[in-house]
Structures are given as C-alpha cells and as structure tokens.
Amino acid sequence: MPTKLNLGIQLYTVRDMTGEDTFKDTLKALADMGFQGVEFAWKYGGMSPDELAAFLESLGLVCCGLHVQLAELLDPDHIVYGYALACKSPFITTSLCSRVDEWAELVPQVDQAAVVARSKGVQFTYHNHSQEFARIDGVYAQDIMRDRTDPDNVHFELDLGWIRKGGEDPMAYWRGYAGRVPQIHLRDYDTEKEEICDIGAGFIDVGAVAAQAEELGTQWIIYEQDNYPVSPMASARTCAEQCKAAGLIG
C-alpha cells in the first residue's frame, strides 16, 4: 500500500567524519543537504541516549534506524535498545554477511533477536550485502533468511547495490520481499566497472525506486556508499541532489 517516503543516510557513509570531535558538525551538514533521517552504525558522538535524542531534535533530524551486532540484539538490557528507544528509532538492524557458512545456526538466532526487539517496541530488519547471494543447497542464503524466519518479526533492509552485485535485478528481487521491506538502502553500482559509484552513475533511477517504494509500502529510502570518487560529503551531496531532482525531497 502507498506510504509516505522519507530519505535517510546510513552514517557509515561518513564514518571518518563521525568521531566525537566532528560528529555534530557532520550531522548538521547532512541535515542542511536535505536528509530527513540518520541511521546509526556504532557511533553516537559520545552522547548518552537522551543527549543524542535532544541533539537530533535540535537539527530537525529523526533516527531511521540503528545498525548493531547480533549479540547486542539478543541482550534485552543492552544500551543499543536505550539509544533506539530514546531516539524513537522504528528499526534496529544487523548483518551477518561474513558468516554465511554458519547460516544454519544463525538463522534461528535472528528469529530470537527479532523477538527481543519486538518486546522492546522496535522492528527488527536484516541488512544484506552481496555475500548472501551465495547458494546453500541451491538456494540463496538471503532467501533462506526470508523463508525460515517469522514474517511478523523479521523484516528486511534490502540493499539495492549489493543485490545488483550479487547478480540479481534489484527492483524485481525487491518485489519478492513485498510486505517485509520497510527500509531499503539506496546504493548505486556500476556493473561494467564492478564497483560502487555515486547515485545516478550506475543503474539507480531514483524516481523509479521512489515509485516502487511507495507502491510496496517501504517507509525509508536510506542512502549508503562506502567508497567515493571525491569524498564522502561530495557523494552525499550528489545523492541529495538526485533525490531533489526526482521530487523525493524538497
């Protein structure tokens, strides 16, 4: 069903600019570019949960997620839940891309983590990389994660660029997860050069992504990039400009 779309940025994109001495200035610059939300990745600017929540509010930013470790998710008393609740994060996320050979043991743990997250009032999502497109008995590890977990508890933060690198059509593959994808990662990929690239320089059509997100009920389009032709902030600015041109943000 159609839903209101929001544009966020995964702060891993600017990971070298989120030390305690630069954290606040970086988030202010991202807010000024037009990003509406931020997804945290292990760094919180040296602030307590309540301090971080107040800082986000001062910038007019919202928290669109936290990327954390599976062990942290399984611990209901872990501070990551303190950050999630104080910042009113709708989602909490993990990835296990380097551990596909442990899938039989990890998939049930993901189900357990999702139950803990739900008990805290936060929706769990699993974030894929390209490694999950390895096959286990003929089936993608990613699809095993989908098919062997509780659909009410385990949702997905599909990464379009990594799906492309994994060999699938990202837009078509996303449709196969309809109803379980409240977030996507907007990552572009140049298949000829076989490398991550700025938004608009590869296969990504922001307008088409936004239209499909609205159709499928995805709430957050979250930009992420981990290498850059010039700099992290220049690439983030390119993303914001592409999203403005497509009408995703004002």
pLDDT of residue 107: 98
Structural domains of the chain in order of their starting residue, each with its CATH number: 6-245 (3.20.20.150)
Beta-carbon contacts of residue 159 (< 8 Å; ≥ 6 apart): 127, 128, 129, 184, 185, 187, 224
**In 3-state terms, what secondary structure has residue 183?**
strand
Q: Which residues of the chain have pLDDT under 50?
A: 1-2
pLDDT of residue 3: 53
pLDDT of residue 1: 31
pLDDT of residue 215: 96
**In 3-state terms, what secondary structure has residue 51?**
helix
pLDDT of residue 250: 80
